[in-house]
Amino acid sequence: DVKVTQSSRYLVKRTGEKVFLECVQDMDHENMFWYRQDPGLGLRLIYFSYDVKMKEKGDIPEGYSVSREKKERFSLILESASTNQTSMYLCASRVGLNNSPLHFGNGTRLTVT
């Protein structure tokens, strides 16, 4: 089974802090994704990466950046956290650029106070 692991289940940070959300997958997938999930809005894509050191903006990249130094690890960075970034963050991976399904981690619930 594919395993996508997010390092933290819950995080509480202060406004203005730099925040790192880490994600690791163990199936050698090329593609990794970061989504945020908000009630009624479903999942919205923040950034994705289709290879090491490659990144592409998703639908809502403002206020975020990402890093993919190794194939198995994809980090989401909030340069200066704001209260409107309080949300559930989901990491996902999939093999190749085809129609194979996404495999999700268990999520990180971030609260910015």
Partner 1 sequence: GQQLNQSPQSMFIQEGEDVSMNCTSSSIFNTWLWYKQDPGEGPVLLIALYKAGELTSNGRLTAQFGITRKDSFLNISASIPSDVGIYFCAGLRNAGNMLTFGGGTRLMVKP
**Farthest CA pair distance, the chain:** 39
Considering only residues 56 through 85, tell me which ones interact with partner 1, judged by CB under 8 A: 58-59
Q: Binding-site residue total for partner 1 (CB under 8 A)?
A: 25
Please report whether residue 27 would count as binding partner 1 according to CB under 8 A. Answer: no
Please report whether residue 90 would count as binding partner 1 according to CB under 8 A. Answer: yes
Q: Which residues contact 32 (CB under 8 A, 6 or more apart)?
A: 23, 25, 48, 49, 68, 74, 91, 92, 93
Do 112 and 82 contact (CB within 8 A), yes or no?
Answer: yes
The CB-of-2 to partner 1 minimum distance in angstroms stands at 10
The CB-of-58 to partner 1 minimum distance in angstroms stands at 7
- The stretch near partner 1 (CB under 8 A) out of 13-21, 65-73, 75-83, 101-109 is 101-109
Amino acid at 21: L
Smaller CB distance to partner 1: residue 11 or 17? Answer: 11
Do 73 and 52 contact (CB within 8 A), yes or no?
Answer: no
Separation CA 33–CA 37 (nearest Å): 13
**Which residue ranges make up the site for partner 1 (CB under 8 A)?**
4, 9, 33, 35, 40-45, 48, 58-59, 90, 92, 97-99, 101-107
